[in-house]
Amino acid sequence: MSTLFTPFQQAKIRFRNRLGMSPMCMYTAVDGQANSWHLAHYVSRAQGGAGLILMEATAVSPEGRISPGDLGLYHDNQIEPLVNINQMIHEQDCISGVQLAHAGRKAGHAKPWQGNAALYAPDWPWNRLAPSAMPFDEGEPMPRAMTEEDIDRLKTAFVDATCRARQAGFRLLEIHAAHGYLFHEFLSPLSNLRTDSYGGSFENRIRFLLQVIHAVRAEWPAEFPLWVRISASDWTSGGWSLAESIALAKRLKIEGVDLIDVSSGGNVAGAQIPIAPGYQVAFSEAIRKEAEVATATVGLITDASQAERILSDGKADVVLLGRPLLQNPYLPQSWAKELEAELPLPKQYLRGW
Ligand SMILES: Cc1cc2nc3c(=O)[nH]c(=O)nc-3n(C[C@H](O)[C@H](O)[C@H](O)COP(=O)(O)O)c2cc1C
């Protein structure tokens, strides 16, 4: 019997299987609003059999977008276009979740197919915000070190976006604290040089994230799961480490976080990452065992038996797929066949298979 296709329960939410779509920016929103691209893209992956659609990094404020094409939940007019998408995903017996994000010093870049370069006024009229005035890399924009007022404003922005996510019909919320974006910048001693209560010690570096999680958990309904994506390592000596990730995971669990979505890297330009099949699974396994919290694993998981083994060996509770689901929305159907598991097709397609 396949573990990958065994239902999974968190809070009041039942996932039909343990194979989810990893958040992936589509760079296609206009003023943060979803459109027919997002409808077709996300709903087709739900039709393809994923148990969870985790929508792309969705900004809590305009200056927190990675690109001008990011989704946002910083304005009430961004709610309505998501309602229909979420309803259609849920009609497929698939759970729809959203990843709330602030890109920090890595905000404000052109879309990949427009060259990825940093944008400046008038195309990007906002200051980049970060724990410390330190650019991500040579030639990258200098961010402004956040004041306590900025920190308070963003806490409110995360809570307001959480409230909009609920109104939009999402049933799972993930906070993006990975990949060198704002929260990760606070966590890592390589990007956080603050001398106030938000910098220095481990306790101080995790403070901003914990405060936001505390406030978000109070707003997000108890029956819906709250997840946090972290980078388990900066892959750089002196940087954020697996040991700190385990300690953070224990604290997040106490705050009511239901699952740690374990990725890595993104905060140090030029870090040497030993990319290989399942290269982040060991981080998930360690966090799951040491912090006794549910985990998701992601990264170069490309075949059914590999995914199945990760779960049956107890190295994660959920497998997330990124690029494989860009290539083939019906991958879960193929994998279910391969693993001889039940995965009902949309009834409209029964005659095709
Ligand atoms: C086009 C693209 C966009 C991405 N956008 C995000 C994002 O919005 N949030 C995030 O946490 N990760 C993002 N990622 C990383 C993926 O979620 C995933 O962790 C990564 O691609 C590794 O998984 P894979 O090997 O299955 O693709 C993105 C990846 C791709 C390819």
pLDDT, averaged in runs of 10, over the chain (353 residues)? 97 98 98 98 98 98 98 98 98 98 98 97 97 97 98 98 98 98 98 98 98 98 98 98 98 98 98 96 98 98 98 98 98 97 94 88
Q: How far apart are CA 38 and CA 83, in angstroms?
A: 12
User: What residue owns the CA closest to ligand 1's atom 3?
Assistant: 24
Q: For residue 112, give the ligand 1 atom closest to its CA.
A: 1
Output the CA 154–ligand 1 centroid distance in Å: 24
Q: Which residues belong to the active site? A: 181
Q: How far apart are CA 336 and CA 50, in angstroms?
A: 11
CA-wise closest residue to 208 among 185, 235, 242: 185
Output the CA 25–ligand 1 centroid distance in Å: 7
Output the CA 176–ligand 1 centroid distance in Å: 12
Task: Decide if 219 contacts 173 (C-beta within 8 A).
Answer: no
User: What residue owns the CA closest to ligand 1's atom 26?
Assistant: 322
Q: For residue 298, give the ligand 1 atom closest to its CA.
A: 23
Output the CA 231–ligand 1 centroid distance in Å: 12
- Cβ neighbourhood burial of 103 (10 Å; 0-12, 13-18, 19+): buried
Q: How far apart are CA 255 and CA 41, in angstroms?
A: 33
Specify the CATH architecture of the domain 8-352. Answer: Alpha-Beta Barrel (3.20)
137 three-class SS? coil
pLDDT at 353: 81
Place of tokens 């397609």: 349
pLDDT at 271: 97
| Domain boundaries of the chain, sorted by first residue | 8-352
pLDDT at 222: 98
Output the CA 147–ligand 1 centroid distance in Å: 30
Q: For residue 323, give the ligand 1 atom closest to its CA.
A: 27
* Per-position b or e across 167-192, b if 16+ CB within 10 A of its CB: ebbbbbbbbbbbbbbbbbbbbbbbbb
pTM equals: 0.98
Taking each helix axis as running N to C, give the angle between helix 281-291 and helix 242-254, from 0 to 180 degrees, rounded to the nearest 10: 50
User: What residue owns the CA closest to ligand 1's atom 21?
Assistant: 322
Residues with CB under 6 A from ligand 1: 22-25, 56-57, 99, 176, 178-179, 229, 263, 298-301, 321-324
Give the pairing of strands 318-321 and 129-130.
unpaired
Output the CA 149–ligand 1 centroid distance in Å: 31
CA-wise closest residue to 164 among 100, 228, 232: 100
CA-wise closest residue to 31 among 58, 55, 62: 62
Distance of CA 288 to the CA centre of its chain: 18
Here the tokens at position 43 are: 């709903």
Place of tokens 């700190």: 244
CA-wise closest residue to 124 among 202, 78, 66: 66
**Which of 25, 275, 321 has most ligand 1 atoms within 8 Å of CB, for mutation?**
25
At residue 16, what is the residue type? R
Here the tokens at position 32 are: 């943060």
Q: What is the DSSP letter of 143?
A: P
Q: How far apart are CA 107 and CA 188, in angstroms?
A: 18
**Which of 22, 25, 306, 326 has most ligand 1 atoms within 8 Å of CB, for mutation?**
22
- Cβ neighbourhood burial of 275 (10 Å; 0-12, 13-18, 19+): exposed
